[in-house]
Structure 1
Amino acid sequence: MNIQRCLPVGNDYLLGLLASCLVALVILTEEVVTKGAPQVFTNSFLVEFNNDVTREQADKVARDHGFDNAGPLLRSKREFHFIHKGLPATRSKRSIPHHRNLKTDPQIKLVAQQPGYKRTKRGYRPLISKGQVPLDKTQEPTDPYFKFQWYLKNDGSMGGKPKLDLNVEAAWAQGATGKNVTTAIMDDGIDYLHPDLKFNYNARASYDFSSNDPFPYPRYTDDWFNSHGTRCAGEVAAARDNGVCGVGVAYDSKVAGIRMLDQPYMTDLIEANSMGHEPNLIDIYSASWGPTDDGKTVDGPRNATMRAIVKGVNEGRNGLGNIYVWASGDGGEDDDCNADGYAASMWTVSINSAINDGQNAHYDESCTSTLASTFSNGGGDPKTGVATTDLYGRCTKTHSGTSAAAPEAAGVYALAIEVNRNLTWRDIQHLTVLTSKRNSLYDGKGYFKWQMNGVGLEFNHLFGYGVLDAGAIVAMAKEWKTVPQRFHCDGGKINKTLAIPSNGSLTLYIDTHACKGTENEVNYLEHVQAVITLNSTRRGEVVMHLESPMKTRSMILSQRPNDDDHTDGFSKWPFMTTHTWGENPRGRWRLEVKFHVPGQNTGFIKEWNLLLHGTKDAPYKNLAAPDPHSKLAMVKKAHEDRR
């Protein structure tokens, strides 16, 4: 059962070409996602032509059959998004007549009516607007809400711990303000007329995929529900010293609005085109949403969306790769963000949150795919949230949730990219690991302690590698040398049905050489995926730990008490950990599977495939470590000692 196989792939571009073959390993199929739940179908259709066609030719075919052509999928010359406005936006059954109508055209190869599914904003809170306060004329930003932005400068005055913040002033002092960097806010629209945003708005990079026009302005509702995107945008790029609201982390950067959340049901085509929109104009995509955070949903990107993300990291930013920043989720301790295929993807940067006294927020999910943390609520006063822009020129102090955390991270990355335009998507992840700080972060309930992995990197199951440090990441980015080529090794597979004991645990082992001596050799880990198929009488009671050869133990799945599934289980689900970053993968990997409460459930694990992602060459050998006690120095020494 200790099998060693290597994928015939040498880089991320080739991996992208194989995405359709790997879809079972990295996403849920449509059948698995919708099994056991009422199906919903939209009036959108994916139409694939036999040969390349122009936009005008596709428009004509759409008109001939009574459809509107909403445009190509990911700039394809064969795949297009057709909409039939005569059909209801959602219905319970597929429209066979409309499908047949399109299929009668000899130019068309494939027609797929798009299922609808739910995607929810993370951290939405009802609006509480406050009037502006007089300017505070100091050397700090003069914006009236800056004194409420404790996540930028925490002086302890709002019940927080002094210096527990993003350390942005250290980055600004180095001249980093985000110039010529664009972050796309994929959300419910942006109030691009807001006086704190209008001069930093990138109209060329913006689009409304909910209404199919270039004006992603939020749709008005009485409860201002669609203020979410505007609030996120202000965290990134609100202007400085203009007397309005607060200041953005990267206040000279640009924001683009991608309106894609504001419809009853999401489709794969809308998600895919949103994540692939203008990849050479957009540097960072910020997403503060995901599958429903109810503690029982297991869901992730569909085929076209996964293709868009893989294409973005391989080809976006003119080959450097787009950065996808994701809010880890607001399901609290009853959920696990490794059951969210967006946050748990190795192609996204999953960001959790902390409150201003160092604890995790009550809604924070935990999982091994979280890379780092930023901030959301204040601790002493639950109304002390994130101060930022709001709809119609107003301001708010109550933005919160991991929704608020992800845009802060996007702003920090904009600062790093400004000082080093050659940073790749992987460089951003390496910089995050090396510069994030433990600071004063801690689990208020005492469940998760800080641990050290095999090369001396400190991590926490809640906070990843710590809170982002803008000053440190900018300083290191200036001297950064791009990391070596990345490889993908199939480290081994157990393909046998084995019972999970009702009492006790099932332990499986894979001994791997990590593709040593082949073109896909991995000696220094980045991400590790345990692709698992299992079923049990109650899915939410299954708990799994993965232990590396260097004895780093990752809880890749925790108890989810609301998840009572007994039919779907997990089908080739890629549980991902970042906790073994920098380690040598060669040796014995140990998977432990058990039930949280003994004696009440039964189940079977049917497959475990170990996928190792990292470099053959040492990633930091060309970097100087001026501080002998820094993370960089410790990891370099661990790598040198190993050789």
Structure 2
Amino acid sequence: MHFYFTATLICLVWVASATIIKRDPSRQYYTLHFPLDEAATQHHAKKIAASLGTRYEGPVGELKTYFMVSSELPGVVKRSSDQQVDPVLAAFEQQKENGALLKRSADDSVAWSKVQRIDKQILKRRSKRAVIPRAPILSSGKLVLEDAKASLGIKDPGFTNQWHLVNQETTGNDINVTSVWKQGVTGKGTVVAILDDGLDYDSKDLKDNFYAEGSYDFNDHVDLPTPVLWNDYHGTRCAGQIAAVKNDACGVGIAYDAKVSGIRILSGEITDVDEAAALNYKYQENHIFSCSWGPPDDGRTMEAPNGILADAFINGIENGRGGKGTVYVFATGNGGDAGDNCNFDGYTNSIYTITVGAIDHADRHPSYSESCSAQLVVTYSSGGGKSIYTTNHGNEECTDMHGGTSAAAPNAAGIFALVLSVRPDLTWRDMQHLCVQTALPVDLKDKDWKQLPSGRMYNHKYGYGKLDSWAIVEAAKEFKSVNKQTYLELPVEMNKTAIPDSTSGKHKKPLQSVVQITEAMVAAAGLSRLEHITATVNIEHQRRGDIQMVLASPNKVESELATVRLGDSSPDGIHNWKFMTVKHWEENPIGNWTLFVYDEINADSTGYMLNWTMTLFGEMDPGFEGEPIHRPDVNHDTTNDGTTSVIKPSSSATSTQSKETHAPARPTRVKPVTTTTASSTSKTVTTTTSPASTTPTSHMDDDEAVSPGGSAADKDDNSDHSVFIYAFVGTAAILGLATAMYLHKRKDWRAPSLPRQTPSTAPIASMDYEFDELKPEEEDEDDHDDYEEGESSDARPLLSQQQQDQHQQQQDR
């Protein structure tokens, strides 16, 4: 009986201790914290509460070392003319620090020696971390437009033509900005620098928002970026997209209260020194740099900012905006119709830039907009019969002919100006995270969309999706800045391994290199959240455009690093080129990463893989202590194991937009002819590797890649038998023909006596082979053969139907 009574009493005490304390709005609450959970802790808490003149409320939920006390409001007294202090906190501080001077019983002294601190409880509002929806919209785009005019006082005559701001025909196919403007978020306090061909600062639509202090002309080396040449209108158009004043001229800018600087660099030749200076010009005052230019988008150029230019980008992200970093925005390029890929542009595939592609008014991919794994987001530009309406060169001149990815980049820069006007403390990497987190996937019927382990979706044409002004601004309001960046670098020596030929057949033989990333490596680098991945590659090849590369993660996520470029016939190969992907953002990196390298199109052009380095960039663990180990003491020596893998048509070269869409060429930064003092014409590429012992790497076995007709070995055997049969039959036919001719000439029907032919002297039959073109539905049945049956994959198609047709046309000619 006594046992049951005791057990019941214990249960009642436990229930009472776990009871939620209901808050009385007339009282102020505090928590007492005791580091150790002891039998008398609750007794000590009651003693402390009494000493402070407060009411003991009880323990805090299931926490054994926290106890609640309260006092009546008001709980603040004046200590001096300008300082207020909480009497309970003041009493705790005094009694805790001066306990030896106060008269206490032994029991009180023990209680005060046990308590560690007191915390005043402040009311806070928590926000839901659900997916941010689109701001509520009215039933039609026309209503949205009229509502914006009325509520915001927009009288610009061209506002109705700015479909990218308010799409009246297809509601929702716009940047969703009016709901942001209604909050008073209009870009005030931000400055966007337009690196371009000048800026018409006398234009009525721009002069009130022109920031002369952040402007300069690096072509003519004068203070103001005055357009001089007949075609110096591009920068003015971009500036109008961002910060056209709300007035009675043309339209309005996305951030119509922001400032714009003009940095003129595209109207003539400039040196790397001038370009580097331009990329950092007044980077404390200029917050965002909008760059709608790059190397030629011709499908054969491969150019990157090296040396001083590379240092300029690093200087910008490290020291710009008071250390928060310059936000560099670059257009992907307009070379899509030429088979170009933005991973061959060293400006757009940099981890320091936000690479922006284009979509048209129907949320579709225009054929000119380049695709690549470095593309982060897309936004609106020309295509499908519509272009961007904006300010033009001239006092009150406007245009509705602006387009290409040249227009997409400033649209993004304008949206980022809205973000920084709300959160000027955000870093350059914060902006990238916000892009990833808030971008909206479009054109979901496109087959390149793949769901990632993060739950997000990615497409090499669209990145993570289109920018939504309302979504990214709302997310920015509560965004917690990411910790500093760290990286993990893993060099791989390939010992000049031959790249297998992949020009025929359904099953291709890629060169495969596997890098194993362990939990210890990630922990030693302090890497807590993955962001960018780069693959720095060295390849010798007789025709660079034949090379295709895919990076596959341990989670079967595949990034298309390099696509075939039919126009790139350079024999220079690939030297220290950094391919970049953002597709693996926040993916768990632990496991085996595989680089697939294919040699396509031209069987007579061969190449060798020398080495490559995979580098993972991301957020450092806030709790990490010590010096991070960026390059672990391992050596990933790998060679080709002869395995096979399926090649599919390249999605990145496939267009959902008619070829009738024509985009203006993206402006090209003009370089002067340079000279070099190097005495040797040979190119030598070296990579330093750790002198440690080799770590085993995982390769696929030959029997893992089995085609529908059998194993690769079986196919080789069958091919050998076929060749033997054809040679035998052909030899017999030739001998028969020769015999007939001889007999006919001599009119002699005696059987000829011919010597037996050895294999070295036997005639070889010349056979022509025809291969049936694979249908798309047949190709979709297979994937890279390293995936087991039943596993999902997002293998990147590597060769498009368009590219195959172009190649066939070249062969026919």
**Which one is further off, 230-239 or 516-525?**
516-525
- Let me know the Cα RMSD of the aligned residues: 1.8
CA contact (8 A) 1:268 1:302 kept: no
* Secondary structure class of the residue paired with 1:610: strand
- What's the CA shift for 1:170? 2.3
Q: Which runs of 5+ in 1 are unaligned?
A: 1-135, 620-643
Residue in structure 1 matched with residue 103 of structure 2 by the alignment: none
- Is structure 2 residue 189 aligned with structure 1 residue 180? yes
- Is structure 2 residue 418 aligned with structure 1 residue 415? yes
CA distance in 2, matches of 1:169, 1:577: 33
Of 430, 443, 454 in structure 2, the residue corresponding to residue 427 of structure 1 is 430
- What's the CA shift for 1:488? 1.3
Residue in structure 2 matched with residue 155 of structure 1 by the alignment: 168
- Is structure 2 residue 596 aligned with structure 1 residue 605? no
CA distance in 2, matches of 1:519, 1:425: 25
Of 539, 550, 557 in structure 1, the residue corresponding to residue 544 of structure 2 is 539
Residue in structure 2 matched with residue 361 of structure 1 by the alignment: 366
Higher Cα radius of gyration:
2
- What's the CA shift for 1:376? 0.9
Residue in structure 2 matched with residue 142 of structure 1 by the alignment: 155
Residue in structure 1 matched with residue 806 of structure 2 by the alignment: none
* Secondary structure class of the residue paired with 1:290: coil
CA contact (8 A) 1:491 1:514 kept: no
Deviations 1:195-248 (A, max 9, x none): 110000111111111111111011132xxx1100000000000011x1111111
- Is structure 2 residue 305 aligned with structure 1 residue 301? yes
- Is structure 2 residue 261 aligned with structure 1 residue 248? no
**Which one is further off, 595-604 or 246-255?**
595-604
CA distance in 1, matches of 2:297, 2:520: 38
Kindly provide the amino acid, as one letter, of the partner of residue 485 in structure 2.
Answer: R
CA distance in 2, matches of 1:167, 1:425: 23
Residue in structure 1 matched with residue 389 of structure 2 by the alignment: 387
CA contact (8 A) 1:239 1:251 kept: yes
Residue in structure 1 matched with residue 458 of structure 2 by the alignment: 459
- What's the CA shift for 1:174? 2.7
**Identity over aligned residues, as a percent?**
40
Residue in structure 1 matched with residue 512 of structure 2 by the alignment: 507
Residue in structure 2 matched with residue 32 of structure 1 by the alignment: none
- What's the CA shift for 1:378? 4.1
CA distance in 1, matches of 2:522, 2:428: 27
Kindly provide the amino acid, as one letter, of the partner of residue 442 in structure 2.
Answer: N
- What's the CA shift for 1:441? 6.3
CA contact (8 A) 1:189 1:217 kept: yes
Q: Structure 1 residues 362 and 485 mapped into 2: Cα distance closer, same or farther (>3 Å)?
A: same
- What's the CA shift for 1:593? 0.7
**Which one is further off, 597-606 or 414-423?**
597-606
Q: Structure 1 residues 484 and 392 mapped into 2: Cα distance closer, same or farther (>3 Å)?
A: same
- Is structure 2 residue 296 aligned with structure 1 residue 292? yes
> Could you tell me the TM-score, scaled by structure 1's length?
0.71
Of 551, 554, 563 in structure 1, the residue corresponding to residue 556 of structure 2 is 551
CA contact (8 A) 1:360 1:442 kept: no
* Secondary structure class of the residue paired with 2:414: helix
- What's the CA shift for 1:502? 0.9
* Secondary structure class of the residue paired with 1:391: coil
Residue in structure 2 matched with residue 230 of structure 1 by the alignment: 236
Residue in structure 1 matched with residue 176 of structure 2 by the alignment: 167
Q: Structure 1 residues 357 and 304 mapped into 2: Cα distance closer, same or farther (>3 Å)?
A: same
CA distance in 1, matches of 2:329, 2:622: 26
Q: Structure 1 residues 360 and 204 mapped into 2: Cα distance closer, same or farther (>3 Å)?
A: same
- What's the CA shift for 1:598? 6.8
CA distance in 2, matches of 1:600, 1:585: 37
CA contact (8 A) 1:489 1:515 kept: no
- What's the CA shift for 1:587? 1.2
CA distance in 1, matches of 2:444, 2:399: 26
Residue in structure 2 matched with residue 44 of structure 1 by the alignment: none
> Could you tell me the TM-score, scaled by structure 2's length?
0.56
CA contact (8 A) 1:183 1:286 kept: yes
CA distance in 2, matches of 1:173, 1:495: 58
- What's the CA shift for 1:173? 2.5
CA contact (8 A) 1:355 1:377 kept: yes
- What's the CA shift for 1:270? 1.4
Deviations 1:97-125 (A, max 9, x none): xxxxxxxxxxxxxxxxxxxxxxxxxxxxx
- Is structure 2 residue 585 aligned with structure 1 residue 581? yes
* Secondary structure class of the residue paired with 1:185: strand
CA contact (8 A) 1:207 1:213 kept: yes
Residue in structure 1 matched with residue 263 of structure 2 by the alignment: 258
CA contact (8 A) 2:229 2:267 kept: no
CA contact (8 A) 1:500 1:594 kept: yes
Q: Which runs of 5+ in 2 are unaligned?
A: 1-147, 503-508, 624-813
Residue in structure 1 matched with residue 206 of structure 2 by the alignment: 197
- Is structure 2 residue 613 aligned with structure 1 residue 614? no
Kindly provide the amino acid, as one letter, of the partner of residue 509 in structure 1.
Answer: V
CA contact (8 A) 1:515 1:522 kept: no
Aligned positions of 1:388-407 closer than 5 A: 388-393=390-395, 394-407=397-410
- What's the CA shift for 1:148? 1.2
- Is structure 2 residue 336 aligned with structure 1 residue 332? yes
CA contact (8 A) 1:354 1:441 kept: no
Deviations 1:498-535 (A, max 9, x none): 11111321111010226637652323210000110112
The number of equivalent residue pairs is 467
CA distance in 1, matches of 2:164, 2:445: 16
CA contact (8 A) 2:539 2:611 kept: yes
Kindly provide the amino acid, as one letter, of the partner of residue 209 in structure 1.
Answer: F
